[in-house]
Amino acid sequence: MEFRILGTGSATPQLQRNPSAFTLAIDNFLILIDCGEGTQYRLLQYKIKSFRIKYILISHLHGDHYFGLIGLISTMNMQKRKETLTVFGPKGLNEIITQQLKYSGSILNFKLEFVQTNSEKFEEIFSDDTIKIDSFPLKHRIECTGFLVTKKNSKRKIIADKLPPNFPIPFYRLLKDGFDVNDELNGEVYKNSEYTTEGSNEKKFAYCSDTIFDKSVVKYVKNADLLYHESTFTTELENRAQATFHSTAAQAAQIATLAKVGQLVIGHFSSRYKTEELFLEEAKAVFSQTALAEEGKNFII
């Protein structure tokens, strides 16, 4: 998985920071996580093809996290998208987007599916052979959820160059499942250990959007390989963070420490701050494996 930063700012517009938006690349498709105003311009800037976006996760209905969604959907439609787009988000999002499409006279070329999230409990919202997505409650001024994306263990990898031409497809499946293949017709035995390599291990990415400091989150993000956690303020404005249901950099680092995650990325910086050095210094004092969300930067998971 590759986690890419598109926006690092908070609610007040900032010239140097764009609103919240991120992509998570898994194999040959993308998950877009939050979609603040102007997200489609960030996709263009970083040469990210919107047709690769298969799922969109919206944490809550504050504008800096979803005001870019209708524009992106409209552009996808003009580009003649055909593949289904699934949007996971809170109650009301379906109605908002449906009304915008209705009153703009937009008729989509593709199927748009909405899956409503629940801000009251941890629950699985999607699963297939490749990934599983869970949502979990965050404590903010309005209903808000975090997300846990798990890339499942992959099957063994075939060393195709070692196999003969026209190797039967059922034999491929047996090898990928870890079995030896006895080709009785040709009197050959293909040992799994010789014709495959190990598949990839499970990887977990956790996303904590806007939230007050809340230790109950730890159980949801425990042992994640990478945790993104908002850090709108630094410690000198901890009272402001509490009053607005946001977190400080040090508090984000405390969550990362308690959850024993592999790496922490902090973002959603208040417009009060013109630079981010203090955020990083404060967080690293608590959790050394902390990095700043920098727009355009990729994190390999």
Kindly list the domain boundaries of the chain, sorted by start residue: 2-154+200-300, 157-196
E strand or H helix at 39, and its extent? helix 39-45
Mean pLDDT of 208-237: 98
Give percent of the chain with pLDDT exceeding 90. Answer: 83
DSSP letter assigned to residue 83: S
**Which position among 34, 64, 134, 225 bears the catalytic label?**
64
Q: Which CATH number fits domain 2-154+200-300: 3.30.930.10, 3.30.410.40, 3.60.15.10, 1.10.10.10?
A: 3.60.15.10
CA 158 from centroid of its chain's CA atoms: 29
> Could you confirm whether 64 is annotated as catalytic?
yes
**Strand ranges (E), the chain:** 2-7, 21-26, 29-35, 53-57, 85-89, 112-116, 123-127, 131-138, 144-151, 157-158, 181-183, 188-190, 196-197, 203-208, 226-230, 264-267, 290-292, 298-300
Is pLDDT above 80 for 176?
no
CA–CA separation, 61 and 52 (whole Å): 24
Tell me the whole-structure pTM to 2 decimals. 0.89
The tens digit of pLDDT for each residue in 224-235 reads: 999 999 999 999
Quote the CA–CA distance of 292 and 301 in Å, as a whole number.
16
Overall average pLDDT of the 43-47 stretch:
97
Q: How do residues 96-140 score in pLDDT, each as one tens digit?
A: 999 999 999 999 999 999 999 999 999 999 999 999 999 999 999
pLDDT tens digits for 258-281?
999 999 999 999 999 999 999 999
Cβ(31)–Cβ(54) below 8 Å: yes
pLDDT at residue 155 tops 80: no
